[in-house]
Amino acid sequence: MFPQTLVIVLLTVSYCNGNYERKRLLRHNLSEHYNPELLPVLDSNNSNPPLQVHVKLYLMALQGLEDKSQLLRASYFWYFTWKDEIFRWDHYFEYKNISRLTVKASDVWVPELYIVNDVRDMRISTGDNKEYVIVKSNGNMTWFPAKELQTSCAVDVSKYPFDTQTCKIRMEAWYHDNTSFVLNRFGSGIETSEVHFVENGEWEILNLSAYPFQYRDYASAYSCIHYTLILKRRSSYHLITTAFPFVVLMALNLLVSVIPTECGEKLGFCMSQFLTMIVFLTLIAQNMPSSSFTISYLTFLISLQILR
């Protein structure tokens, strides 16, 4: 009885240990035959179709759309998947039961992509050697880089505070043309993350869409995806703090013509109306982008009121 138990215990120990050892050997062997700079296709020549990379962008939080600096700040993560023809192994016979590995993103080929309208760091990969890629034995790669983007967005405030803004995120291949790899939408291409999404107090998301295409340079064509976010300002706060006082001020302004000229108070009333309007205009101007491309109709109305 006793020796049998011992054998089982020994087998279990050596199996666990063996599993680690086999993983280590597999990992070593995979890197031995791999160069992360090369496109991971076995027989790459110009007649071969390009590598198909599928992408979906998940919106995690909308930090804000800053009218003044014309920046959209939000955090995202991408879901990338593609087929690597080199980084794969036989999990039925040679590396039994090792069906998946998690490896450093710097050790395998990952698509090099840039967010060309990001104002800080255009690369998607942070390159800090702390990102991972999940590899299945058939070479199916999944990569989830996460990042906060600050993308420039031309804010049109002419309808403030009832405005809707359209912002674009432009993701483009930079060094590899479309004979190397091509980006495709995965599903709808963009959506809010079900688990991580946090609503923004000022902006409501009306629509998210993704549009993949190839843009032609003078020499070659590059694959890219442009994302469009349509945001609507939640106007209730602005109604109370801006629109309501404005209506009251306008009504008071009308009263000026009712006051008889003989009454000495008319000039004083006009002066205080004028000052109130100036203060009000300054308050609104604080929320407005300092550009003259688009000026809010509201600013116009208030300026006109001052002229009266």
Ligand X SMILES: *[C@@H]1O[C@H](CO)[C@@H](O)[C@H](O)[C@H]1NC(C)=O
Question: Length of the chain, please?
Answer: 308
Site for ligand X contains 102 (CB under 6 A): no
Q: What distance lies between CA 206 and its chain's CA centroid?
A: 15
Residue whose tokens read 């011992």: 6
Smallest separation (angstroms) from ligand X to the CB of 194: 16
Compare residues 57 and 182 and give the one whose CB is closer to ligand X.
182
Compare residues 116 and 221 and give the one whose CB is closer to ligand X.
221
Site for ligand X contains 86 (CB under 6 A): no
Residue whose tokens read 């990102």: 131
Token pair listed for 225 = 């995806």
If one counts every other C-beta atom within 10 angstroms of the C-beta of residue 240, the result is 10
Site for ligand X contains 48 (CB under 6 A): yes
Give, as one character, the DSSP assignment of residue 242. I
Residue whose tokens read 């404005």: 246
Site for ligand X contains 99 (CB under 6 A): no
Compare residues 47 and 236 and give the one whose CB is closer to ligand X.
47
**Helix and strand tally (H, E) in the chain?**
5, 11
Site for ligand X contains 25 (CB under 6 A): yes
- What are the φ/ψ torsions at residue 206 (nearest 5 degrees)? -90, -45
Q: Half-sphere exposure of 223 toward its Cβ, with a 13 Å CA cutoff? A: 20
Smallest separation (angstroms) from ligand X to the CB of 191: 10
Site for ligand X contains 45 (CB under 6 A): yes
Smallest separation (angstroms) from ligand X to the CB of 180: 9
Residue whose tokens read 């209730």: 236
If one counts every other C-beta atom within 10 angstroms of the C-beta of residue 244, the result is 11
Radius of gyration of the chain (CA): 30
Site for ligand X contains 83 (CB under 6 A): yes
> Near ligand X by CB under 6 A, which window of 5-13, 43-51, 66-74, 159-167?
43-51
Q: Which helix (H) or strand (E) holds 212?
A: strand 203-216
Site for ligand X contains 82 (CB under 6 A): yes
> Near ligand X by CB under 6 A, which window of 39-47, 251-259, 277-285, 293-301?
39-47
Please tell me the count of residues contacting ligand X according to CB under 6 A. Answer: 19
108, 171, 182, 183: which one contacts ligand X (CB under 6 A)?
Answer: 182
Compare residues 45 and 102 and give the one whose CB is closer to ligand X.
45
Q: What is the x/- site pattern for ligand X, positions 206-235, by CB under 6 A?
A: -x-x----x-x----x--------------
Site for ligand X contains 129 (CB under 6 A): no
> Near ligand X by CB under 6 A, which window of 108-116, 174-182, 237-245, 284-292?
174-182
Compare residues 158 and 209 and give the one whose CB is closer to ligand X.
209
Alpha helix segments (H runs only) across 48-177: none
What does the alpha-carbon distance between residue 77 and residue 86 come to, in Å, rounded to a whole number? 26
Token pair listed for 264 = 């000495």
Site for ligand X contains 81 (CB under 6 A): yes
What does the alpha-carbon distance between residue 38 and residue 51 come to, in Å, rounded to a whole number? 12
* CB-nearest residue to ligand X: 221
Interface with ligand X (CB under 6 A) = 25, 29, 43, 45, 47-48, 50, 81-83, 140, 178-179, 182, 207, 209, 214, 216, 221
